[in-house]
Chains A and B, each alone.
Chain A
Amino acid sequence: MIKTDVLIIGAGPTGLFCAHQLGIIGLTCEIVDNLDKAGGQCIELYPDKPIYDIPAIPECTGEELTNNLLKQIKPFNFNFHLNQRVEELKKVEKRWHVKTNDNKEFDVASIVIAGGVGSFEPRKFSVKECEKFEGNSLFYSIKDKTIFKDKTISIFGGGDSALDWAIELSNTSNVNLIHRRDGFSGMESSVLKVKELNDQGKINLYTKYQLDSVSGKDKIDSVKIKHDEGKIKEIKSDYILGFFGLIMQLGPILDWGLNIDKKKVEVNTENFETNINGIFAIGDICSYPGKLKLILSGFHEGALAARGCFKYAKPNEKLRFEFTTTSKAAQERLGIKND
């Protein structure tokens, strides 16, 4: 069990800046995120796209913003727990115990939910029977590529993951690549490579086709794919891989007893606390009259929520408002040496 003042759920820009604000006022925190890296939507949805409305930063990309926020909280040495999602919440006397799907447990005075629109999960096939084969012969990510050796793999999708895996697996497997249109969203060089491999007979490329049905007993043995014009083709397949990017799902937080309206957690605007004492929500996931889904709003919400966390972490102390320009304590926490 990891004991700290605050658990931040979500390592997007809002969660990261809230961690900074906690550090400045002398609180500690741990940060959990379901992605394999910090940055949230900035890093997952638009790492290369420019952002123009961060105060005093005329232009930066999602990746640059994330890197700068990480640099800003580096002095505090807060721990990240990536690739995991919070599951269970339990009130134990005046504190909260939170458990992740990786069985990590936290004992905290308060919780800040900075979960964006939810945790990122792979988008799945719409064909119903696919569920039955998920994890045995149908996958949305690859953990062990050796299982595909000498097998027939049908890969669906037109982005970088689909193209990269089609190229990679074509060395050791018989690969079908199926995509809904002639154009691809993946890198031009990968598209050219796939077309070259298709010409050499090393990949079978089917464009303007989508998955129609799958069949097999315990494992998949074939798939039917349907052309835009209606024609159906059956292809033998030992495995199916689907790469349709990620979608955000609110997940277990829904069952925590929070007031939720249209997938958003209701908060007050004084300190962004929810209907449950000690649980705060900031950023895209929170809702209040006038809410703007901007990163800058998330920063403001995080600053106030951090102060709201103080009374739970240090009930016998009073928080004094200070500026980082003049506060010795804040500068010490930032590791700045004053002579």
Chain B
Amino acid sequence: MPKITYNTHDNQTHTINVQNGLTVMEGAIQNDIPGIDADCGGGMSCATCHVYVNEEWLNKLPEKEDGEEDMLDMAFEPKKNSRLSCQLIVSDTLDGLVVNIPSKQG
């Protein structure tokens, strides 16, 4: 199973095995990783599963769909490496992905 690392804002590192096919958001929710709210449940309509992706992973991720960048406008302190974790579907190619969770979701 691919390993995903979530760095929370309080400098805790959680490395979790996440099943292929789940989203990075679901991996966090199912494993009680704090800081990802996912209010809308993965519908790309709330921007509360916002994460910062480690630079070296930015180009390896699937491209953003149209609506994702629009939703990121609403996110708390969006940056160039911002993604919505509900849009990142875990697969073997994402094994080792590191995401940083912002201090707040809104």
Contact = CB atoms under 8 A, between A and B. Distances in A.
Nearest to A116: B39
A183 B77 contact: no
Contact of A123 (B41, B43, B106): B106
Interface string A90-133: 00000000000000000000000000011000010010000000
A251 B39 CA distance: 14
Contacts of B78: 180, 210
B48 A126 contact: no
A46 B106 contact: no
Given A123-B106, A228-B80, A117 B73 contact: no
B82 to A, nearest CB: 10
Interface residues of B, number: 20
A157 interface: yes
A54 interface: no
A248 B45 contact: no
A179 interface: yes
B70 interface: yes
Given A123-B106, A126-B76, A126-B77, A185 B70 contact: yes
A126 B73 contact: no
Contacts of A118: 39
Given A180-B78, A247-B106, A248-B46, A45 B40 contact: yes
A149 interface: no
B9 interface: no
A284 interface: yes
B43 A159 contact: no
A244 B43 contact: no
A181 interface: yes
A126 B50 CA distance: 14
Contacts of B105: 247
Contacts of B39: 117-118, 247-248
Contacts, number: 53
Interface of B is mostly: loop
B21 to A, nearest CB: 18
A180 B76 contact: no
Interface residues of A, number: 25
A123 B40 CA distance: 15
B51 to A, nearest CB: 16
Contact of B73 (A46, A180, A228, A263): A180
A107 B1 CA distance: 55
A293 interface: yes
Given A123-B106, A126-B76, A228-B80, A41 B69 contact: no
A155 B41 CA distance: 30
Contact of B69 (A157, A183, A228, A244): A183
A179 B77 contact: no
Interface in B45-93: 45-48, 69-70, 73-74, 76-78, 80
A288 to B, nearest CB: 16
Contact of A179 (B41, B45, B73): B73
A245 B80 contact: no
A290 to B, nearest CB: 14
A245 B74 contact: yes
A41 B43 CA distance: 11
Given A117-B39, A248-B46, 18 more contacts: A45-B40, A123-B106, A126-B104, A158-B73, A159-B73, A179-B73, A180-B78, A181-B69, A185-B69, A210-B77, A210-B78, A228-B80, A244-B73, A245-B47, A245-B73, A247-B39, A247-B46, A247-B106
